[in-house]
Amino acid sequence: MIEVLAPAKLTWFLEVTGRRDNGWHTLRSEMVTLDVADRLEIDPGGDYLRLEGPYSGLPVDDSNLVARTLALVGRRAGVTVHKVIPPGGGLGGGSADAGAMLRWAGRVSNDQALTLGGDVPFCQMGGRALVEGVGELLTPLPYERRAVTLVLLSFGVNTAACYQAFDELTASGEHPDGRNHLERAARRAEPRLAETMDWLRATLGGRVHLAGSGSTLFVEGHLESDVSTWDVMGPEGLVQFRQTFTTPSEA
């Protein structure tokens, strides 16, 4: 049995730089990996996919990114994924698992990894990188140990709806700016996100940032010194705080 870790990814900043003829938006962003990680147990002689942990209700059919990764590299294996990364929050849970499988299988080109998803090329590499294009252009950056407080919400933001809202905003004459060009669009696509961000910023100020298209929020640094996780009730449901650090590449 082989064990590999699949670190969560965090989008530190995000700029939308254009749109291709196929409708895909080009981006410029900094991504980092975190010490929040799924754990994958790989049996090279097996042929199964199992999920364990609090998010074990996710599908385990051919649509799962672990299964798609094995198909891409032409391999079979038995894989048990111990899920820790919350799904649907923008931390790249499925992409992280795919990246871990690619590291085990011997890696593929960024263009090949991109066929699994825009975050998979970075998740295959990990660490810290400038990410451009639609996720396939990676420039490794020196590792910096950073303390981060994740703010996990009880709902997600639909990525397609977020980009549709972004296109509507730009068509109306708005110009994206700030640390995350998708923030206004995400708030428009998911009003619960807007309510929660406003509530948090009333307490914590402008330190609350949106990660990618959401719904995960984050604060640079740790808010408390004596706890690592805690939960509160926000205006739109449970809000979970989790203190973590960035990690170097798994390479």
Catalytic residue annotation: 9, 119
Instruction: Specify the residue for token string 């079979």.
Output: 76
Measured CA to CA, the distance from residue 200 to residue 217 in angstroms comes to: 10
Would you list the DSSP string of 104-159?
HHT---HHHHHTT-TTHHHHHHBSEEEEEETTTEEEE------EEEEEEESS---H
Q: Indicate the Cα dihedral angle 43, 46, 52, 56, nearest 10°.
A: 130
Helix (H, G, I), strand (E, B) or coil at 24: coil
Q: Give me the sign of the Cα torsion angle 185, 64, 92, 197.
A: positive
Measured CA to CA, the distance from residue 108 to residue 24 in angstroms comes to: 22
Structural contact between residues 75 and 45, judged by C-beta atoms closer than 8 angstroms: no
Structural contact between residues 28 and 17, judged by C-beta atoms closer than 8 angstroms: yes
